[in-house]
A and B are shown apart, each in its own frame.
Chain A
């Protein structure tokens, strides 16, 4: 296997950036006055949520590309991006629960954002189950892309539907609902930490996607070799 220098550099810089982000979260960013240390979860919570959304969008776009052009690379990107998106979405949901325990006094509440995040998670878990159930690669790619498009379109509708019930989730960026418990105003240092975390997580996403794509290509080559061997 040939060396992949670009990927190596990207991997190393991702690790370094992550260390820097951790430093900013725990040392550089000031302690939030009301909520205390648990507020620090917020930076990675938002960053993970952002990467989840980004990853699912990439999967959606790749699915559309596959439907238009029939490109199998696009299908591979859709699969890999969805898997990574699911991991980050899980981080987002779990970190949210950790924060909610002391602030909202419960691990879980049926708030629009939480519920939408969870339903989105379930949607993409279903996406992977669908892929698992279909043998033929062409059909699997096509069906997965169709489901990816429908899933992506239904998320904003779900959010709107849950919104009809009232929300207690704080809206830190943009105008918040009055009385949302856990709102706070960001200091410049907090804002820098958040933006940096989002940037680092985005780079991390790119790195992981590259690794995962390479792995997928390799496993496909192994499968082909095995087939050739079996056929003699």
Chain B
């Protein structure tokens, strides 16, 4: 699970996060909304250990960021704006490379199973350079869940995907949550977020300003909070 308390962050003296509290249980799917510059990406990068919080406590999968960052990294899967794939390596080579970084054994079997799962078995030995955006994104997801992380963090994973690919991704993410992972999804697409998630949060001006069960909120209602959080 995810347990974040009082996380603050600033860039060049400008505060971005002003004390974020956030809990996601195991098997729970949470969608995080917010206007541009609300700090969604920064928050996710902090959880993925790509940025360092100025203050606050981050515990993922039972490991404290301040105490054992390596153990924390081992239980986190992250899909950011970049697919983090090597263009000159094939799909299977990319996965095998990351498998050796995460110490996944047996790498071959696991990588093949994942390619099957994300529907890239036919492109197994193709170089990623020739992949479409949708294929790259699916491989990026496979890369992120390669080590069966307890926590899955996704930053706008649907961007650049066509409807078909987006629907495939949705199914994959819901299966991951059903498998007991904590899923935190940052998205602009309010409708999709509500449809996928158990719970929705709105981040505004560096704080969580609204939280609600996804079943009891409509997109139009949420849009109101959205606008309010933006301060405009």
Contact = CB atoms under 8 A, between A and B. Distances in A.
Direct contact of A and B (CB under 8 A): yes
A135 B12 contact: yes
Interface of A: 135-138, 223-224, 227, 231
Nearest to B11: A136
B13 A224 contact: yes
Contacts of B13: 137, 223-224, 227
B14 interface: yes
11 contacts: A135-B12, A136-B11, A136-B12, A137-B12, A137-B13, A138-B52, A223-B13, A224-B13, A227-B13, A227-B14, A231-B14
Contacts of A135: 12
Given A136-B11, A136-B12, A223-B13, 8 more contacts: A135-B12, A137-B12, A137-B13, A138-B52, A224-B13, A227-B13, A227-B14, A231-B14
Nearest to A231: B14
Contacts of A227: 13-14
Nearest to A135: B12
How many of chain B's residues touch chain A, expressed as a range?
Answer: under 10
A135 B12 CA distance: 7
Contacts of A136: 11-12
Nearest to B54: A138
Interface of B: 11-14, 52
A90 B14 CA distance: 37
Contacts of B11: 136
A132 to B, nearest CB: 14
B169 to A, nearest CB: 33
Contacts of B14: 227, 231
B17 to A, nearest CB: 15
A231 B14 CA distance: 9
B74 to A, nearest CB: 25
A123 to B, nearest CB: 27
Nearest to A223: B13
Nearest to B52: A138
A227 B15 CA distance: 10
A227 B13 CA distance: 8
A137 to B, nearest CB: 6
A90 to B, nearest CB: 31
A224 B14 CA distance: 9
Nearest to A230: B14
Nearest 7 pairs of A and B residues by beta carbon: A136-B12, A135-B12, A227-B13, A227-B14, A224-B13, A136-B11, A137-B12
Contacts of A138: 52
A227 B14 CA distance: 7
